[in-house]
Amino acid sequence: MSNLSESIKAIKEASKEDRFTYLTILQYHVTSPEILPTLNEVLQDADLTQEIGWDLVQMLLNIDGSETCLETVARLGNPREVVIKVMEALEGLTVAWHDEVVVDVDDPGVIPDSKIPGKFITLLGMLAILHQRIKTKYPSRFLGPSLVKVFEAYQPTPEMTASVINLVYSLSGRKRPPLPSRTSSINVANPDQDGDVSKNAPDPEAEQEDPQEEAMQRKLLQAFVTCILQRYVNAHDMLWSPRLLEVYNPKKNVPGKKTTIEAFRENEVLQKRDAIVGQLVALLRDLGLDKCSNQFVKSIYEGPVHRDPLAAFNNFSSADDIHFSPGGSVCLIAYWLFSRDVFSSDSPWPEMHIFPDHASILGRFLGQDVQSEILASPGIADALLAIGLGLEHRNLIKAEDYTNLMAYHHNLTLISVFHPDIQVRNAATSFAGTLLHSEPDDHTRLEILEDLLENCMFASLKACAVTWLKEELIAAKSSKRSNQFSSPDVIERLQYFLFPDMLSLNESSPEALIEFWAQNHLFLLQVANFAYFLFTGLQELVPAGMGAAVGQRFVEPLLAAAEKLEKAEGLDGEDRMQLRILTDRLRSLGLQ
């Protein structure tokens, strides 16, 4: 291995050799950061860099501190050749991600001290310069494939997302606005904006641009940013729906307990999340996507919900062939509503209603395999919930007479079951309850509750249905109105769903009882409390003879099963405490 002085002499003197020989010499001598300043001096020879620049991209990318040399290659190398090498390098980063193990939960997709984000940022800085240098009749044919490679190599970290934002501003011909001086600001290298444009060599194959190109390039950038927005929101808990609930129902905030809004205001990591999403939305606004028109809304649920916008980036003939990310569009609408109500922004007013627009979007996104969809896209599920909350808050309920509240309510409750974040689950439960109680038709409200109690397989949801039924009974009594919830008929209709026959538990083994308890304890505890409320506070709604029947088929077998469970092994302290609560409540009914 040669020493530094020998390497400096070699790369200076050998620059007059034929290009193949010189590249071989560079590969031998350019192996450490110390040689890079000398190489950058040599690369100021525009003719030389025009010929060999594209062959240097991968070699330099693997050397720390090579950003200046790579910027020179981007400015002076043949832009059409260098851009191909940059795309190849991005493809290499995509492969490299799979060799790294994710261990940093606060920085999804990246391990500490990984060099991949830095390489990504450097390559995007080169792309920003290169695409402005390429003067061709159809620049979108270069732009589309480049954006695909960028997205494939992208990981939703703050720095990499900031780099993407810089790139899009450069490609759109706009300067990124100065960021506010706060801890949430993310600044990364931006050679196109900070560098000297006068150093750019002209495109040796320059052509006059086609008039349709401007619209196609703008649509490409818009679609690309919606893909980035979806990816970022799915990777980070934005908690839009819980925060909206805190704004809409401040009386429900627990005194002395930090709210989610306060947490996002005080925590630097959470501040960055809000800042980055805000910057992505601002970028879309600068690109012309700044109206929540009904046409924009319908495009989300009238087209294929699982459309891959990037699939068209390599094959399109007009701007109409390029489509936004459906999930990214949902996140955009959610942020418009959220930022208007939480940050008092001037976001556009939504030209949509819960029925049919939001109900259609929600149903299309959740699809047939609801659990998989929610777990794969938790950010979109939160965004969908936030949109519903925002529309309900604005009383934008329905644009037509027909509404299928049961199907819509069902989808909301599935978010409350399957979403991985408890705050989003609670927000979904709260919204589902609000929507149920606000339905003017008491027959519809009862049908929804009956369907949940009869057909739902999730104990937590059945427990919610019991709570909602109790609230309906209280509301009917308070208002002194005659409806489905003001007579014993409602309890007669629902009693076998509320208090099912438990006699089969008498024959169950301890193991079977433990499994039964694990699956049903939430519902059983809620029903026991409801029974106490019903038999002690609303006796006028209890059908004649029902108390004795409930005691025989429900209370007595449950008490016997609880006694067996108390003696069984395999229950933790929490389970035993809840068993005692259930037992005490059932005995207080006096029905055994």
Count of beta carbons in the 10 Å neighbourhood of residue 103: 9
The better pLDDT of the pair 201, 104 is held by 201
Q: What is the pLDDT of residue 182?
A: 45
192 has pLDDT over 70 = no
181 has pLDDT over 60 = no
Work out the pLDDT band at 103, boundaries 50, 70, 90.
Answer: very low
- Which tokens belong to 230? 């979806």
Residues 272-313 pLDDT 10s: 999 999 999 999 999 999 999 999 999 999 977 667 889 889
Q: What is the pLDDT of residue 396?
A: 96
**Backbone φ, ψ for residue 353 (5° rounding):** -130, 165
Helix (H) or strand (E) holding 257: none
pTM of the model: 0.92
Give every CB contact of residue 333 below 8 A, 6+ residues apart in sequence: 292, 297, 350, 352, 383, 387
Buried b (16+ CB within 10 A) or exposed e, 372-407: ebbeebbbbbbbbbbbbbbbbbeebbeeeeebebee
Give every CB contact of residue 68 below 8 A, 6+ residues apart in sequence: 36, 40
29 has pLDDT over 90 = yes
Cα–Cα distance for residue pair 430/243, rounded to 1 Å? 13
Largest Cα span, the chain: 106
Residues 475 and 539 sit within 8 Å (Cβ to Cβ): no
Q: What is the pLDDT of residue 304?
A: 73
Q: What is the pLDDT of residue 185?
A: 56
1 has pLDDT over 70 = no
Residues 38 and 25 sit within 8 Å (Cβ to Cβ): no
Place of tokens 């294929």: 304
Q: What is the pLDDT of residue 412?
A: 97
Write out the E strands in 13-105: none
Q: What is the pLDDT of residue 105?
A: 47
Q: What is the pLDDT of residue 107?
A: 53
Q: What is the pLDDT of residue 315?
A: 87
Residue-range domain boundaries for the chain: 4-193+211-227, 228-439, 477-592
The mean per-residue pLDDT over the stretch 33-61 comes to 96
Picking from 120, 199, 212, the residue whose alpha carbon sits closest to that of residue 166 is 120
Residues 383-425 pLDDT 10s: 999 999 999 999 999 987 778 999 999 999 999 999 999 999 9
Residues 319 and 219 sit within 8 Å (Cβ to Cβ): yes
Cα–Cα distance for residue pair 107/266, rounded to 1 Å? 19
Residues 446-487 pLDDT 10s: 999 999 999 999 999 999 999 999 999 999 999 988 999 999
The mean per-residue pLDDT over the stretch 100-115 comes to 62
At residue 347, the 3 state secondary structure works out as coil
The mean per-residue pLDDT over the stretch 508-519 comes to 93
Give Cα separations from 263 to 242, 370, 487 (angstroms): 12, 30, 46
Place of tokens 């034929």: 18
Cα–Cα distance for residue pair 144/487, rounded to 1 Å? 65
Cα–Cα distance for residue pair 161/232, rounded to 1 Å? 8
95 has pLDDT over 60 = yes
Give every CB contact of residue 343 below 8 A, 6+ residues apart in sequence: none
Query: Considering the chain, what percentage of its residues have pLDDT values greater than 70?
Result: 92
Residues 80-90 pLDDT 10s: 999 999 999 99
183 has pLDDT over 50 = no
Mean of pLDDT over the chain: 91
- Which tokens belong to 536? 């002690």
Picking from 159, 163, 165, the residue whose alpha carbon sits closest to that of residue 108 is 159
